[in-house]
Chain A
Amino acid sequence: MNLGPGSLFSPTAEHDLVRQTVAEFARREVDPRAAESDRRGTLDVALFRRLGDLGLLGVTVPAADGGAGMDAVAAVIVHHELAKYDPGFTLAYLAHAMLFVNNFYHCSNAEQRARYLPKVLSGEWVAGMGMTEPGAGTDVLGMTTTARRDGDHYVLRGTKTYITNACEAHCFLVYAKVGGRVTAFVVDRDCPGFSTSGHIDKLGMRGSTMAELVFDDARVPAQNLLGREGDGIGHMMRNLEIERLTLAAISVGIADRCVEIMVRFANERQAFGRPIVDFGQIQRYIADGFAMTEAAKCLVYNVAREVGPDVRNRIGSDAAKLFAGPVGKTVADYAMQVMGGAGYCREFPVERLWRDAKLIEIGGGTLEAHQKNLAKDLSRHVRG
């Protein structure tokens, strides 16, 4: 498929150049370190800072504020190309650049931007976002973390869990309820009363880490309130769209790479005196896997054209992730099946991609959450 300038996948020459830069960076620098990060279950912070050198950490932040000033399509390109080689590392990038930087940019004031942007755009600081709680995942508005004003501080109490980058991050965008209304704050690691738990080990996406954020009457300066009290839901809903879209792009990257690997393997591997690509059952995995990948890619890029800070597109972003999530998982599974024992072994990246792919059906909203949202949004005009 033509990914070049003017196509759905690279609408402008700049998009095409971004793809070239990220694809080359991923091949040169991310690929050689991916297996090791997976084995250790750690974020490669030095490699992460390279994302800052290349200007990728502020992909959606306007140029006047030190970012690249690009759109959701560019953000999708970055996730798509990085995820071909290391979805776990890409998840750390997503948690920083989408969940923190993009969200923070749109809900912060000039003073807050001046304090945080230089550090998070360069990669000097790693960042994350805390929404999920032990008792509230899909039911996010059921969160019980509270904040109460105390002089020139807010006092936060509660626990966030499954927070990507929590082991390394220097700051977090955190949602807590002030008098029952969801409100966003930026919290620094050295804030008194704040701590993170130990690393929560996980099946896949092991190039990024995850831990709990614990607020034990944490004292957050009032100047770290993002927007106004009660604005949190607006920030959250807006940012969930680009989060879901870029998670879907990770799935497309996984699927793309798995198709490439299985086609090569099926042509090289001989059985019964011929390459296994000659067998109809193998052809079905390849052809079905390819067709699903292309369908997911088209949907994700098409939706990306209508995601941005000033447009709401929950239907599109839910649909993109609902469809693309299972595609990454299924195509990774096809690739493993085509490869037999080799696919199950660590020597090839497929078993890692297979473990990584499952997350897209859970994180940033479960499949069921997308189904629930879509049915509700699609019924709106019928019900009035």
Chain B
Amino acid sequence: MKILVTVKRIPDPVEPPKFAGGQIDTSSAKWVQNEFDEYAIETALRLAEVGGGTERLAEVVVVSVCPATKREHVTNFLAMGANRAIVVDADDTQLDAQSVAQLIAAVFRKEGADLLVSGKLSQDNESNEVSQRVAGLLDLPQATFAASVVWDRSANALQVAREVEDGVETKRVPLPAVLSVDLRIVLPTSVKNGATPEGHPYPDKPRLASLRGITMAKTKKVDVLKPADLGVSVGAKVVSRGVVAPPKRQAGKIVASVEELVEKLATEAKVL
């Protein structure tokens, strides 16, 4: 079993975005890892490992589309426990979701992977498209927004619970397949692989990298591929025409009475 996990760098969401030339200016941004990808790697690791032991049921490979020189986030995922990494060397800020999906689908094929695990979205543009597009390109079954997953190894299938508007939908997905995960996937009993003992004390969050993981990360293999190596010619079909900050809110007014409020809502704000 080989599990591919998509990981992305994003501008630190804690810092307010800067604008320049009608676009978001990321030239001085601090780049961090996308939080949903931490859920994805945690899912993959819980599927792969036998909790409490050292045996691994699957290889976990992280893949990121980013400039080869800007891959600190990839090291973080290796430190958390992925076996190795593939970096597709491209300027991710210039690519649309379809191009990213084509690159990931090509890596999936090249690797002969059995499962793709993605976070349901990246916190920067929140487009929530890549995993669905990859499933389409590969013509594979998919389950999105997974809240729990059980790997039925004898049937080579996943049983996935998805939180949908009117409840929880349970799906059976034969492998190979594509999975995108939501927040609840990291609750202590959300991921089961039939080998980790019931009640294994998983935390309710993605794991922290141990010091050993951190020092081992630099010894792990990272393959760097160009889009051309994957036979993909990238070029954004979706072009962003401009991004502007929302208009500044005007300072509010403090009114002295309900009568004054009603009067102003009627005459000034004209909402009554």
Task: Tell me the A residues contacting B by CB distance below 8 Å.
Answer: 4-5, 13-14, 17-18, 20-21, 24-25, 28, 53-56, 58-59, 63, 68-70, 74
**Does B212 contact A55, Cβ atoms closer than 8 Å?**
yes
* C-alpha spacing A56/B213, complex, angstroms: 11
**Does B210 contact A17, Cβ atoms closer than 8 Å?**
no
Residues of A close to B211: CB separation below 8 A: 18, 21, 54-56, 58-59, 68, 70, 74
- Minimum C-beta distance from B58 to chain A (A): 22
**Does B210 contact A14, Cβ atoms closer than 8 Å?**
no
Known: A5-B72, A13-B72, A13-B75. A21 touches B208 (CB 8 A): yes
Is B170 engaged at the interface, CB distance under 8 Å to the other chain?
Answer: no
* C-alpha spacing A21/B214, complex, angstroms: 9
Best-surrounded residue of B30, B72, B79, B208 (most CB of chain A within 10 A):
B208
Contacts between the two chains (Cβ within 8 Å), count = 48
Question: In chain A, what residue has the closest Cβ to B208?
Answer: A21
**Does A68 contact B212, Cβ atoms closer than 8 Å?**
yes
Is B209 engaged at the interface, CB distance under 8 Å to the other chain?
Answer: yes
| Contact residues of B between 80 and 123, Cβ < 8 Å to A | none
* C-alpha spacing A153/B26, complex, angstroms: 67
Main secondary structure of the interface of B (DSSP, over half): helix
Is B18 engaged at the interface, CB distance under 8 Å to the other chain?
Answer: no
**Does A68 contact B72, Cβ atoms closer than 8 Å?**
no
Given contacts A20-B209, A55-B212, 8 further A-B contacts (CB under 8 A): A13-B218, A14-B214, A20-B76, A21-B211, A58-B211, A63-B212, A63-B215, A69-B215
Task: Tell me the B residues contacting A by CB distance below 8 Å.
Answer: 30, 72, 75-76, 79, 205, 208-215, 217-218
Question: In chain A, what residue has the closest Cβ to B209?
Answer: A21
Known: A53-B210, A70-B211. A17 touches B205 (CB 8 A): no
- Minimum C-beta distance from A67 to chain B (A): 8
* C-alpha spacing A310/B185, complex, angstroms: 47
**Does A17 contact B79, Cβ atoms closer than 8 Å?**
yes
Residues of A close to B218: CB separation below 8 A: 13-14
Residues of B close to A4: CB separation below 8 A: 30
- Minimum C-beta distance from A250 to chain B (A): 19
* C-alpha spacing A25/B214, complex, angstroms: 15
Q: Which of B30, B75, B208, B213 contacts A25, CB < 8 Å?
A: B208
- Minimum C-beta distance from A8 to chain B (A): 18
What are 20 sample pairs from A and B whose C-beta atoms fall under 8 A apart?
A13-B72, A13-B75, A14-B214, A14-B215, A17-B76, A17-B79, A17-B214, A18-B211, A18-B214, A20-B209, A21-B210, A21-B211, A28-B205, A54-B211, A55-B213, A68-B212, A68-B214, A68-B215, A69-B215, A70-B215
* C-alpha spacing A17/B215, complex, angstroms: 10
Across the A-B interface, give the 3 residue pairs with the lowest CB-CB distance, nearest first: A55-B211, A68-B211, A55-B210
* C-alpha spacing A80/B263, complex, angstroms: 57
- Minimum C-beta distance from A7 to chain B (A): 13
* C-alpha spacing A55/B212, complex, angstroms: 6
* C-alpha spacing A55/B13, complex, angstroms: 29
* C-alpha spacing A76/B253, complex, angstroms: 51
* C-alpha spacing A20/B79, complex, angstroms: 12
Residues of B close to A24: CB separation below 8 A: 208
* C-alpha spacing A17/B209, complex, angstroms: 8
